[in-house]
Structure 1
Amino acid sequence: PEDVDYRSHRGLDRGLFLKLVAGDWIAARDNLVICGPTGVGKSWLACALGHKACRDDRSVLYQRVPKLFASLALARGDGRYARILAKLGSVQLLILDDWGLEPLDAHARHDLLEILEERYGRRSTIVTSQLPIAAWHEVIGEPTIQ
């Protein structure tokens, strides 16, 4: 996080980011969404916060959402599903990168609900997305989960 370039035109608030770097939001079990267009450094910022959390002796796991859902689909068949979900639920900071690149199928919706339900109020999660939050309902595709 020490290498963040605040001169870049991406709308990053230096004071807010420095507050996030301190990590109090992780101790409070809060969550963070980083949205913006391609190329502004969402993934880099999320990883910088994750790296700082590691240096602060917190457990961190980074997952690209498309690959995560594909891995969970395979894990259903080979017996690793419960173990992967337990790992996703146990880390102090989970970084879900590239959320919303494609609509979720029924299994991915279920997986997302399980992951977030297990973490809510217990652990912190960072979600990065190119999509504005208002468009997330279309990606989820199920009104009862929204």
Structure 2
Amino acid sequence: MPALRRRYRAMYRRTSRLFDELALARADGTYARLLAKLARVDVLILDDWAMTPLGPAERRDMSELMEDRFGERSTILTSQRSPELWHDQIGDPTTADAICDRMLSQCHRLMLKGPSRRKEVASQT
């Protein structure tokens, strides 16, 4: 990845686990510090975005995260769902508008087609 070769800092998280980390940070008083850390990382990779509907805390977390990163840092989202379905997964229409606007307004969208690479690897073992 060219960004890593240029020594950009990257962080990978499955979205569900990121929400778990943020909930724990909220409980132990380190929430603001974790949000600041996530805002500073050059490339944030969120895997399996919008797999399940978001709850109120997850909506707030994603809104804060996207607001902090918008126009400042790169965020890579992977999803099995089309962006047209993200609104329903986010839930609240106003918050969904804000989050999707920040995610999609300056994005580069790649659609992968073909068989799953995981199935290919599993059949070789």
TM-score (norm 2): 0.74
Matched, 1:120 2:52: no
Matching of residue 81 in structure 1 with residue 31 in structure 2:
yes
Counterpart code for 1:122: E
Q: State the percentage of identical aligned residues.
A: 50
Partner of 1:55: 5
- How far, CA to CA, are the matches of 2:12 and 2:34 in structure 1? 13
**Residue of structure 1 equivalent to 2:103:** none
Deviating 4+ runs (over 2 angstroms) = none
Q: Specify the alignment match of 2:107 in structure 1.
A: none
RMSD: 0.9
Deviations 1:52-102 (A, max 9, x none): 322211011111100000111111110111111011100111101110111
Counterpart of 1:131? 81
Among 38, 48, 58, which residue is 1:98 paired with?
48
- In structure 1, distance between residues paired with 2:5 and 2:84: 34
Flag the structure with higher helix content. Answer: 2
In 2, Cα distance between the equivalents of 1:68 and 1:115? 11
Alignment TM-score, normalising by the size of structure 1: 0.64
Q: Partners in 1 of 2:44 and 2:74 — Cα distance?
A: 7
Give CA deviations for 1:80-139 in whole Å, capped at 9, x if unaligned. Answer: 111110111001111011101110000000000000000000111000000001000010
Distance 2:52 2:21 in 1: 16
- Number of residue pairs matched? 96
